[in-house]
Amino acid sequence: MQISENLAENKAALQEIFRDCGDIVFRDFAAAEGRGHLFLVYVDNMVSTTAIEESILTNVMNRCQAVEAEGLLRHLTESVISIRDVIRLSALEEAADAVLSGDTVIFMEGSGFALQASTKAFPNRGVGTAETEVVVQGPKDAFTELLAFNIVLIRRRIRHTGLKVKRKKLGAMTNCDLALLYEEELVRPEVLARIEKHLDQIHADGILDSGAVEQLLEQRVMSPFPQLQMTERPDKAAAAILEGRVVVVVDNTPFVILIPATLNVFFQAAEDYYDRWEIMSFLRLLRYGAAFLAVALPGLYVALTVYHPQLLPTALALKIAETRSSIPFSVVPEVVVMELAFEVLREAGIRLPSPVSSTVGIVGGIIIGSAAVEAGLVSPAVVIISALTGICTFVIPNPAIVSGLRLSKYLVLALAAVLGLYGFWLGMLFLLLHLAGLSSYGIPFLYPFCSSSANEDRDWEDSLIRLPLRYLRRLSIFRRRKGGES
């Protein structure tokens, strides 16, 4: 609907659009010497009242004496309103969207357009520290819930004109702001085009978090493993851009999405590049080993103790048999119950307040495990297996990949309980085949452990181990090839 030259019609139409919206403010006022009647509209507590009072109302009421009413609104844009961004609007729907975005819209009698003045002042908690990706050495700042702040945090690190920002909106009702950040010289054009196409194809009533965008962008939605990476660290997002990846920043969430992603990047921590390569390579190998144990340990224990005890050392087999002599349950339900008990403790620790959560997770596990052993309900070996499995998941720096490994553990455990070692290896094979079948916007998920020749084997330098920084060529598979080739 076009904006009318009749001020009363515009006001009535907006009041109907914002009917029963008690936080919408309409303010009537007049220009200096009565040269024009105007009104402005904004959302209470989403705008800077100082900017409205000093840069709009005061200036319009005192600095329009020499201007005729017909050209007043144009004069306001050029010489009166001292706000950085003033945009001309021609439709009431555009005006309503601008108001809901936190801007102020100004209407005037006799003008068939309105002015959108940037007066956003959202409540925010400021730049905090990273909580899910903690590092000992390196930057401590983290993304916030404000899109503009998050873009600035990346801009501070990449001061190059090639860093491009494309803005979009998602959600029919939420109209959520979203931005794509990428380095023009490094990004693969076909990857960027596919991401934009998929974003344009998203039709949802509401987008409230980057987690929803991540799920809508994933290609294999039935997989428990993430095919896109999320981070709350600006330095990690900046490093991803320099690798040729695309960063999707969503308003109202402190996590951004990094596209594409491979299994390898989920085992890389930001700290890997801030400390010496020897210790970081050792820790990275430790993470891969912990991931294997997190998936394999319960199933392997069940397969060996139930079906193949002869493969265990004699002393160990006798010790396990001795501790299990008074246990009323078989090995499989014993392991399943303890694994689920630790899962419940983990979930309880997340939901409880921070000062209490760590106590519940540690003390609760010790108390329940000790009580179960003393009561003769579970054997000490099963408590050790379950505790070690849980600890291994904490070594991996990305929570999303940990969730996939936790679910895969039960598949391997179920097959091992039915078929023994054959079932165990069958479960590991299924897992490997599933990972090999995944891809992220054209990049194999298991790269560089497969198809490494696609990039002349360069990505092995930063995979299982990390070579010294001076030897890293940084020509990752995510980057555009020389001459614009992909």
* 408-444 pLDDT per residue, tens: 999 999 999 999 999 999 999 999 999 999 999 989 9
State residue 225's pLDDT score: 94
The answer to whether 47 and 119 have CB atoms below 8 angstroms apart is: yes
pTM of the model: 0.85
Higher per-residue confidence, 361 vs 252 = 252
Picking from 11-25, 380-394, 396-410, 454-468, which range would have the lowest pLDDT averaged per residue?
A: 454-468
**Rounded Cα distance, 407 and 353, in Å:** 26
3-state secondary structure the chain: CECCCCHHHHHHHHHHHCCCCCCEEEEEEECHHHCCEEEEEEECCCECHHHHHHHHHHHHHHCCCCCCHHHHHHHHHHHHCCCCCEEEECEHHHHHHHHHCCCEEEEECCCCCEEEECCECCCCCCCCECCCCCCCCCCCECCCCCHHHHHHHHHCCCCCCCEEEEEEEECCCCCEEEEEEEECCCCCHHHHHHHHHHHHCCCCCCCCCHHHHHHHHCCCCCCCCCCCEEECCHHHHHHHHHCCCEEEEECCCCCEEEECCCHHHHHCCHHHHCCCHHHHHHHHHHHHHHHHHHHHHHHHHHHHHHHCHHHCCHHHHHHHHHHCCCCCCCHHHHHHHHHHHHHHHHHHHHHCCHHHHHHHHHHHHHHHHHHHHHCCCCCHHHHHHHHHHHHHHHHCCCHHHHHHHHHHHHHHHHHHHHHCHHHHHHHHHHHHHHHHCCEECCEECCCCCCCHHHHCCHHHHECCCECCHHHCCCCCCCCCCHHHCC
State residue 472's pLDDT score: 76
**Rounded Cα distance, 288 and 481, in Å:** 30
Higher per-residue confidence, 478 vs 34 = 478
Reported confidence tier of residue 477, pLDDT bands at 50, 70, 90: confident
Query: Once rounded to an integer, what is the mean pLDDT over residues 348-359?
Result: 67
CA angle in degrees (0–180, nearest 5) for 281-284-286: 110
For 357, half-sphere exposure in the C-beta direction (CA atoms, 13 angstrom radius) is 9
The answer to whether 223 and 201 have CB atoms below 8 angstroms apart is: no
Reported confidence tier of residue 321, pLDDT bands at 50, 70, 90: confident
User: What's the chain's average pLDDT?
Assistant: 86
Query: Once rounded to an integer, what is the mean pLDDT over residues 101-112?
Result: 87
- Find all residues with CB under 8 Å of 186, minimum gap 6, and list them: 162, 241, 242, 243, 244, 479, 480
pLDDT in tens, 329-344: 889 999 998 889 888 8
Give the residue carrying structure tokens 């998203």: 202
Reported confidence tier of residue 360, pLDDT bands at 50, 70, 90: low
State residue 245's pLDDT score: 94
Higher per-residue confidence, 335 vs 135 = 335
One-letter amino acid of 277: W
- Find all residues with CB under 8 Å of 349, minimum gap 6, and list them: 357, 358, 360, 361, 364
Reported confidence tier of residue 109, pLDDT bands at 50, 70, 90: confident
State residue 30's pLDDT score: 83
How far is CA 469 from each of CA 274, 275, 384, 449, 472, rounded to the nearest angstrom?
10, 10, 39, 21, 5
The answer to whether 261 and 166 have CB atoms below 8 angstroms apart is: no
- Contacts within 8 Å (CB) and 24+ apart, 45-52: 45/123, 46/102, 46/120, 46/121, 46/122, 47/102, 47/103, 47/104, 47/119, 47/120, 47/121, 48/119, 48/120, 48/121, 51/83, 51/117, 51/119, 51/121, 52/104, 52/119
Q: Are strands 256-259 and 443-444 parallel, antiparallel or unpaired?
A: unpaired
Reported confidence tier of residue 166, pLDDT bands at 50, 70, 90: very high
Reported confidence tier of residue 304, pLDDT bands at 50, 70, 90: very high
**Range with top average pLDDT, 14-23, 224-233, 334-343:** 224-233
Cis peptide before 260 (omega within 30 of 0): yes
How far is CA 148 from each of CA 42, 179, 183, 196, 207, rounded to the nearest angstrom?
20, 9, 18, 20, 18
pLDDT in tens, 375-419: 778 888 888 898 899 889 889 989 899 999 999 999 999 999 999
State residue 36's pLDDT score: 76
Which two tokens mark 334?
């014993």
pLDDT at 482 over 70: no
**Rounded Cα distance, 116 and 97, in Å:** 10
pLDDT at 175 over 70: yes
